[in-house]
Chain A
Amino acid sequence: MTIALAVSPTRMELLKLRQRVGLAQKGHDLLKEKMDALVIEFFEVLRRIQEARTKALEQLSVAHRALSMCFAVVGTLETRQVSREARRELQMEISTHHIMGIAVPAVEVGEVERNVLARGYSIHTTSSVLDGASREFERALKLLIELSELNASAFALARELEKTKRRVNALEYILIPRLREALKFIMMRLDEMERENFIRLKRIKAMLEKRE
């Protein structure tokens, strides 16, 4: 059920309303196109997430297994100690690019996997099992960084998609029907006034003729 806007039934108002309906319709069409494009983009990102996620999670569980092995062989405390000593200066480059006006992060990361000497802990006091664990975690981290980029894009797209959908629905189901209702009301009213006028004229004419 639509509620008619409060309008005065004049010709001026009618013209204005017609313009507004046209504008709303145009906006609606544009937004709908935007929404379609967003959906396509969104699904593309989702598909890539699916792939990246299975890969990353697999690698992460491999890494955890290697770490457990390391805990067992080297010892828990020693491993923790080494993790504190390790050089921890991994940098990632993040810039934003825009998909249809939405800011989406673009992550660039150099080689995460380091060589044994670059890790920063002393090699001769630690076991090679520890190196293995480090390596697996570095690989996992690289995959996770890639995944995080996709994830953030998906979230940004989803948020925009939701907003666009709201707008499209508001135009389609609220604003445009209301405007049309108002338009109809004015047209009916104007017609009615014309008929009233017609009758009035006829009456006056009849009265004038009777008087003669």
Chain B
Amino acid sequence: MSYKIAVVGDQETVTGFALAGATYVHIHATREETLAKLSEFFASGEIGLVLITHRIAEELGLDFRWMSRAKRLLPLVLRIPDKTGYVPKVDELREIIRRTVGAGIMVRKEGS
């Protein structure tokens, strides 16, 4: 199956990815609008990947987390830093490792 790409972000991110060929874009303005748009993206069957900036994901908070947990395997959701390179301090993946393995784990290259 072939799928399209959606981007939710600020003006700059959206412009950039639109130039690169992302089909659906949404510029974040208000919480309600963005949430509605996101549920539309999740419900439509033709979107394979939703990119969302960390800043917005954080602003949406719990609602977004619930949505991404409730969805099926597709669309994939990936959080990306915006133009300021903003990445939250609590890394989501690290949090999951802590929960499943029971300890924080550093992945290091061998020999270092």
Question: B interface, by DSSP: helix, strand, loop or mixed?
Answer: mixed
The contact size tier of chain A is 35 or more
Q: CA–CA, A138 to B16, complex, Å?
A: 9
Contact between A134 and B1, CB atoms less than 8 A apart: no
A88-B21, A88-B23, A138-B21 known; A64+B107 contact, CB < 8 A: no
Do residues A158 and B76 form an inter-chain contact, with CB atoms below 8 A? no
Tell me the minimal C-beta distance from A108 to chain B in angstroms: 9
Contact partners of B4 in chain A: CB under 8 A: 89-92
Most buried by A among B4, B12, B19, B20: B19
A82 adjacent to chain B (CB < 8 Å): yes
Cβ-defined contact, B15 with A91, below 8 A: no
Lowest 6 A-B CB distances belong to which pairs?
A90-B21, A137-B20, A83-B18, A148-B78, A134-B19, A138-B20
Q: Mark A residues whose CB is within 8 Å of B.
A: 39, 42-43, 46-47, 49-50, 57, 60-61, 63-64, 67-68, 71, 79-80, 82-84, 86-96, 103, 105, 107, 112, 114, 119, 130, 133-134, 137-138, 140-141, 144-145, 147-149, 151-152, 154-156, 158, 161-162, 165
